[in-house]
Amino acid sequence: MISLSKDLMERIRSHGRETYPEECVGALLGRKGEPAHVVSVERIDNIRTAERARRYEISPQDYLRVEGLAAEKSLALLGFYHSHPDHPAAPSAYDREHAFPFFHYLVCAVAGGRPGDVTAWTLSEDTGEFEREPILEEEA
């Protein structure tokens, strides 16, 4: 399970709206545990040069930047969020191929520029498949 405030959920949806029809991406910073608790989201530039409506890519520099930002705040990098323009809020085969089992992944569907469902996923080390996890939205 992963928890975050309604405000952070809205920031993720807004990011998806602003970058539509391209995918957005950002980092989830927070505290590990059950549930993992997101306390901050950090936008990351999608550096893909092709297929930006269906793919995102994070530069090594941005990855190191968000790792460092988490450490500065005594937090952990819990995972990442990204949008799926005009597609469901479920990870794709491409997402699975590029995921790590120790991270949480939030996927935000954005249909016609309007953000919709957000779902959360973890990659099973045993099966190599995504498993959906509950999201606990909290008041700010």
CB atoms within 10 A of CB 108: 25
> Torsion over CA of 85, 89, 93 and 99, rounded to 10 degrees?
100
pTM: 0.96
Average pLDDT rounded to a whole number, residues 65-87: 98
User: Is residue 129 very low, low, confident or very high in pLDDT (cuts 50, 70, 90)?
Assistant: very high
- The domain of 37 spans 2-138
Task: Count how many domains the chain has.
Answer: 1
Residue 64 in this model has a pLDDT that exceeds 90: yes
Mean model confidence pLDDT for the chain: 96
Residue 139 confidence class, pLDDT cut points 50, 70, 90 = confident
Output the domain CATH number for residue 120: 3.40.140.10
Residue with tokens 């520029």: 113
Q: Using alpha carbons, select from 94, 128, 109, 80 the residue that is nearest to residue 20.
A: 109
